[in-house]
Amino acid sequence: MRIGRIGAVARFELLSVVKRWSYLIATFGLPIFLAIVSGTVLGVQTYFLSQRIAESSEFGLVDEAGIVDRSAFEDRDGVRVWTANANEVVLYENRDLATQDLEAGRLRALYVVGESYLSSGEVHAIQSEKTPLLSMRGTTIEPLLRSLLRNSLLEGRLDGDLQERVISPAYFVRSRLGPDGEHVAGVDEALDLLVRTTIPLFLGILLLTALLSASGYLVQTVSTDKESKIVEVLLSSVTPEEILAGKLFGLGAAGLVQFAVWSSMVVLVALTASVALASVVSIPWQALAVAPLMFILGYLFLGSLMLATAALGANAAESQKLTMGWAMLAILPLMVLVILLDEPNGILGQVLTWIPFTSPLTVIIRLAVDSSGIAWWEVIGSMGALLISTWLSIRIGARLFRVGFLLTGSMPSLAELWRQAR
């Protein structure tokens, strides 16, 4: 193969793609669009939350059963108020007055501890017509009221500590082994789960999207060559291997730029997260470092197969259908993502690591979820397997490419393909 010719093909293909509006929009417009959308959503949410905080956080309480411990309330100009977690509960002796305040919008809700409370346990929560729907969701007032009632019921009947334990039997102090094997306290389980699963998932989807996007450009270029009938001119000047390699490198470079731009978003998020959560969660730096290499290898393998099979299609639609199978194989790790996240180094993860179609995504996910469970020889080995498969697929692909390019009309039989490709 002549490097100069491969370079000429690669340069032409790269410039053809990067000058397209669709590419520029997908590469740079998409992250900007996502940033604008997520920024807007966050901004709107922040605005409404701040509005809500500014709204009245006063609740009314009418104690018809006479069981609420009055000593918990402080007296403010003749009004008894209990403050807890930025919520204020005003104790009313008169239900009508409380209802008037609720109607006037001075209260978000009114709680009435009925006379039969001791036997029924019923506390009536009343909202006014003006109270926005779902406004009670997400507030912490009801658990606080429960604590107030428990305290009131037990007041003076148990000693201090016992009463506290009855009210709050357990505070779970969570911790886990951190990135360096240290015992880290104060872990928010939900946040931990989110970070530990979101980054691998996002990285995996990103890798796959970039792979399929770059492969999509390959299918498109083959269809263009075939439909524009220029292929004979190309094949009379350069070998199928040179065309195939040139297209792979040129469009791969375009895909790599796209992947770099997209993954810079992930790096940005990871850097932000690492500053905020360094002691809590481990950022999958190894996965992030290996990702570009796995992208290149995965792309070269998948791309060469896609080029060869796309050349067999009579037009763009047919080429797209023919290459769909390869894409489905590459998506496989995402289909079994739940298993991979749960058991990244289980038998499924280990097997998928060695299959060239699935290894890029699987290695990235395994490294991101639990890098200690994947051996270095597995990473190197999977790269080796990918390289060998890529070499084979370029060799076979180039032959199919030549045959496929010159075929018109109906699909050739396998026997015919074999005969022509020899």
Partner 1 sequence: MAKRFGQHTALEGVSLAVAPGEVFGLLGPNGAGKTTLIRIGLDILRADEGDVTLFGAAPNPKALDRTAYLPEERGVYRRAKVRELLTYLGRLKGLKRAGAHDAADHWLERVGLSRVADQRVESLSKGMTQKVQIAACLMTNPELCVLDEPFSGLDPVNVALVTDLIEERRASGRTTVLSTHMMHQVEALCDRVALIHRGKLVVYGELDEIRRRYSPHEVIVWTEMDLAARGIRATQRKAGGWRVELPPSATPAGYLHELVGSGVSVDRYEPLVARMDEIFVNLVGGGR
Select from 4-12, 59-67, 75-83, 326-334 the region that touches partner 1 (CB under 8 A).
Answer: 4-12
Gyration radius of the chain's alpha carbons:
32
Task: Please report how close the Cβ of residue 230 comes to partner 1 at its closest, in angstroms.
Answer: 3
- In the complex with partner 1, which residue's Cβ is closer, 137 or 229? 229
CB of 20 to partner 1, least distance (A): 9
Cβ-contact 360, 209 below 8 angstroms: no
Nearer residue to partner 1 within complex by CB, 2 or 130: 2
Task: Decide if residue 94 touches partner 1 (CB under 8 A).
Answer: no
Is residue 4 near partner 1 by the rule CB under 8 A?
yes
- Per CB under 8 A, 3 contacts partner 1: no
Q: How many CA atoms lie within 13 A of 246 on its CB side?
A: 25
Q: Report, in Å, the least distance between residue 1 CB and partner 1.
A: 9
Interface characters, 226-265, with partner 1 (x: CB under 8 A): --xxxxxxxxxxxx--------------------------
Q: Which of 49, 268, 351, 406 binds partner 1 (CB under 8 A)?
A: 406
**Element containing residue 243 per DSSP (H, E):** helix 240-277
What does residue 110 show for φ and ψ, rounded to 5 degrees?
Answer: -125, 130
Cα–Cα nearest to 91, from 148, 138, 143, 132? 148
Give residues with Cβ within 8 angstroms of 6, minimum separation 6. 242, 245, 246, 249
Number of shown-chain residues binding partner 1 (CB under 8 A): 25
Q: Which is nearer to partner 1, 45 or 237 (CB)?
A: 237
Phi, psi angle pair for 94, to nearest 5°? -115, 120
Show the binding pattern over residues 363-402: x = contacts partner 1 (CB under 8 A), - = does not: ---------------------------------------x
Candidates 147, 150, 109, 115; CA nearest to 129 is 109
Alpha helices (H) along 139-188: 141-154, 160-167
CB 291 within 8 A of CB 263: yes
Q: Which stretch binds partner 1 (CB under 8 A): 8-16, 43-51, 100-108, 284-292?
A: 8-16
**Minimal distance, residue 267 CB to partner 1, in Å:** 34
Q: Which residues pair with 63 in a beta bridge?
A: 113
Q: What does each C-alpha distance from 274 to 5, 280, 364, 422 come to in angstroms?
A: 45, 9, 19, 55
> Within positions 40 to 69, which residues make up the interface with partner 1, using CB under 8 A?
none
Report the site for partner 1 in 195-224 (rule: CB under 8 A): 224
Q: Which DSSP string do the residues of 399-416 spell out, in sequence order?
A: HHHHHHHH--SSPPPHHH
| 119 touches partner 1 (CB under 8 A) | no
Pairing verdict, β 87-92 and 123-126: unpaired
Rule CB under 8 A: is residue 24 a binding residue for partner 1? Answer: no
Shortest approach of partner 1 to residue 390 CB, angstroms? 23
Q: Site residues (CB under 8 A) for partner 1?
A: 2, 4-5, 8-9, 12, 16, 224-225, 228-239, 402, 406, 413, 416
